[in-house]
A and B are shown apart, each in its own frame.
Chain A
Amino acid sequence: DTGVSQDPRHKITKRGQNVTFRCDPISEHNRLYWYRQTLGQGPEFLTYFQNEAQLEKSRLLSDRFSAERPKGSFSTLEIQRTEQGDSAMYLCASRRDRAGNTIYFGEGSWLTVV
């Protein structure tokens, strides 16, 4: 059973550029989550999909952030006009319906904005 896969693992970008992260959830996991983690903090919830529907968004998800899951499989998280404060690890997680509230994380995508 392959785990949650995230790409790229590391990204360095200049302030003002756009970046996109991709997440492939565990096969047959229809629920997909994005979290963000900064140094010294725990992961913070950004958004959640059930199949292709985006059902919940955090206030942390400013209008520069957009997430999609067009076919209910992989998901992308795009950050437009990046700022230094966007530097963080972006974590994707997934789970199946009716499988409890335990979610399984990928290895994360590190973003450094310079």
Chain B
Amino acid sequence: DQQVKQNSPSLSVQEGRISILNCDYTNSMFDYFLWYKKYPAEGPTFLISISSIKDKNEDGRFTVFLNKSAKHLSLHIVPSQPGDSAVYFCAASSTQGGSEKLVFGKGMKLTVNP
């Protein structure tokens, strides 16, 4: 079963506007969440993370919001730039469960148009 879901396969936005990427999870044991960006034929690059003790984390143009009651997180990119065009993966882990495994969503392709 898909414990981390990225329900929209793609998003297209104009340069300078906001990009909002969504992610839902089902496992209530997850308490640490990450976003990775991936270009074709490269490995994922870490962007930003958030612990379940917070509801927001910001790093430059990237902000991640966590809604634990809804089991939902989102990544906001403001302003969006053409270089942000990539596939974005949401990932989750349980730091208390004894497992080191990150569970990834299927990814979402973001296209930022000049």
Contact = CB atoms under 8 A, between A and B. Distances in A.
B41 interface: yes
A56 B44 contact: no
Interface residues of B, number: 24
A56 B105 contact: no
A56 B100 contact: yes
B95 A48 contact: no
Interface stretch (A12-20, A72-80, A102-110): A102-110
Given A42-B89, A101-B93, A108 B102 contact: no
Contacts, number: 61
A4 interface: yes
Contacts of A102: 34, 46, 49
Contacts of A91: 43-44
Interface residues of A, number: 26
A103 B92 CA distance: 12
Contacts of B99: 56
Interface in B8-41: 32, 34, 36, 41
Contacts of A42: 4, 89, 91, 104-107
B20 to A, nearest CB: 19
Nearest to B90: A42
Nearest to A103: B102
Contact of B32 (A33, A41, A45, A101): A101
A107 B106 contact: no
A43 B49 contact: no
Given A106-B43, A107-B43, A108-B42, 8 more contacts: A41-B106, A42-B4, A42-B104, A56-B99, A58-B101, A101-B100, A102-B49, A103-B102
Closest 7 pairs between A and B when the two form their complex, measured CB to CB? A42-B104, A105-B43, A45-B101, A48-B100, A107-B43, A108-B43, A101-B32
